[in-house]
Amino acid sequence: MVKWSQQKHSGGVNLSIAHENSHNLQPLTDSEYEHFFMQLLTGVSQGWGRVHVARFFAALSDRASEVQWSSWLRHFGTQLEQSETPDRNLAIRLLQLGAVGEGEVSQMAKLIGTSLLAKEGLTPQEVDLQASVPQTTADASAEAADLAVKAGWELLEADNPQAALDTFDRALESNPNLYRAWVGRGDSLVHLNRLEEAISSYDRALALEPESAMAWSHKGDVLYDLQRIPEALESWDKALALDPNDAQTWTNQGFAFGVKLGRWQEAIASWQKALALDPGDSDTWFQCGLAHGVLNQWEEAIACWDKATELKPDFRDAWINKGTALQKLGRYAEAIEANNRAISLGNL
């Protein structure tokens, strides 16, 4: 009997499966602390207020507490103060954070900024803390929204969908016409298993940018998870018309044709397009072999499973199915060899 292996989930048809709980997230590394802190300083210099600063730290609270931020900033401040060429602009931004933020981190930023200026013989009263702030509130809001969108995608990449969702929502409060924020919001909702809401977010993105292949593709993924297969195929068709080089969408389309609709020849065609773009995908080679097996195309199936095991030598299911196909063709010695290989990889 042909066996199906577990489908892979790299942003594709099973995107609705939630990521690990936030308590499994890794603490920030030193480079990540610096990266996010510089984003914070940029936001403050462009008009972020007390609420924005509080939301920034709240969005990262699963990975860094206030005590940890303070510890990192103290070390970072020491490095800055030891530099032979003080950065006056950075000092001003630290003072700006001290002026609008609250808590130990903001107070420490103010002290570090004051210390850096002192190395140049200056005091905070002798510099214009508003020099880096844009001329108009609209400019500041646009910059802050762009920063929030970027931070949202980074949080989503770091497997923190709730913080990402909060960040995208903050960006959309400033500017509801950011279509990438709507896409990111949809992806965040998917990871939180709020699928119907995700579709609404993708629809908002598509209303703003009808030619967003990403939005059409991700909407199709969610429709698939909701078992709305014809709608999923329609959405993927639109995505592929805009971006025919998206291997994952071709792969997902193949699952819909084959697994859900039994249209195996069309599934093979989709998977072949995916493999032309990503020939190193052992799972898709495996699934393509299964489709050939369903159609009794055993030579073609074996060729696919050979590719799968070439790429992934411990692919046990591929060895099992190859043995089955070889038996169908009467090639019993080769079938025994394939079965022995499968047995060596675990109990049948």
Residue type, 253: Q
Please work out, in degrees rounded to the nearest 5, the angle formed at the alpha carbon of residue 14 by the alpha carbons of 9 and 15. 80
User: Mean pLDDT of all residues in the chain?
Assistant: 83
| Among the ranges given (36-40, 253-257, 287-291), the one the predictor scored with the smallest mean pLDDT | 36-40
Residue type, 223: L
| Among the ranges given (142-146, 181-185, 339-343), the one the predictor scored with the smallest mean pLDDT | 142-146
CA distance 32 to 285: 37
Tokens representing 76? 């970072």
CA distance 201 to 172: 11
pLDDT per residue over 9-35, tens digit each? 333 333 222 333 334 457 888 888 888
User: Which residues contact residue 6 at a Cβ distance below 8 angstroms, ignoring those fewer than 6 apart?
Assistant: none
pLDDT per residue over 94-112, tens digit each? 888 888 877 888 888 888 8
Q: What domains does the chain contain, in order, with CATH numbers?
A: 22-133 (no CATH), 280-348 (1.25.40.10)
Q: Residue ranges of the alpha helices (H) in 175-297?
A: 179-191, 195-208, 213-225, 229-242, 247-255, 264-277, 282-294
Q: What confidence score (pLDDT) does residue 244 get?
A: 95
Inter-residue contact 2 to 294 (CB < 8 Å): yes
Q: Which 3-state string (H, E, C) describes 241-273?
A: HHCCCCHHHHHHHHHHHHHHCCCHHHHHHHHHH
Q: What confidence score (pLDDT) does residue 8 get?
A: 36
